[in-house]
Amino acid sequence: MGKQDIFDFLIQKKEKLCVLATVGGDNAPECAVVGYAAKEDGTICINTNTHTRKASNLRKNQHVALAIGWNFNDRNVQYEGKAEIVEREDPDFSEWEEFFFGVNPSAEIFKSPDTVFIKITPTWVRMTDLTKTPPAVDEVSL
């Protein structure tokens, strides 16, 4: 396994759900289950509303962690990265909107004038393959 194997897993995973952890203003952790879309370079895109706690947290602290996959007979990924909010007025907003909803068309029910996207660049990833005995682990700092 290597970093591209991890990134390919994120793209190919059928259920595009993850747990996103952010840090609140009081340095307390906060997490939410969210939909995601992954690019070949490992960048992850998440949509949210500009008024959510996660958006507010990211305006103060760009560091995030994700957990992807939670079955005992599958692979799962721990992912840490740096997040950037892509606002409607950003020149590449339409590109991120098309990408995210192209991967997650059922999420369009959440689209609103307050929709923003969270673009996350990976800094560290770890995949554990629980389909193997013993489990295979691959960890990459980026």
pLDDT at position 2 is 86
* Segment (H or E) for 63: strand 63-68
Examine the pLDDT at 142 and tell me if it is beyond 90. yes
The percent of residues in the chain predicted with pLDDT above 90, rounded, is 94
In sequence order, the 6+-apart residues with CB closer than 8 A to the CB of 11 are: 38, 39, 40
pLDDT, tens digit, 9 for 90 and up, residues 36-94: 999 999 999 999 999 999 999 999 999 999 999 988 899 999 999 999 999 999 999 99
* Segment (H or E) for 75: strand 75-86
Q: Rounded to the nearest 5 degrees, what angle is found at the Cα of 9, between the Cα atoms of 107 and 67? A: 65
Find out whether 53 and 19 touch, Cβ atoms under 8 Å.
Answer: no
Examine the pLDDT at 1 and tell me if it is beyond 80. no
SS3 105: helix
* Segment (H or E) for 22: strand 17-23
Dihedral sign (CA 45, 24, 70, 1): positive
The total number of structural domains in the chain stands at 1
43: domain CATH number is 2.30.110.10
Other CB atoms closer than 10 Å to residue 94's CB: what's the count? 11
Tell me which DSSP letter residue 66 carries. E
Examine the pLDDT at 110 and tell me if it is beyond 90. yes
Per the structure, the complete domain to which residue 38 belongs is given by 3-141
The percent of residues in the chain predicted with pLDDT above 70, rounded, is 100
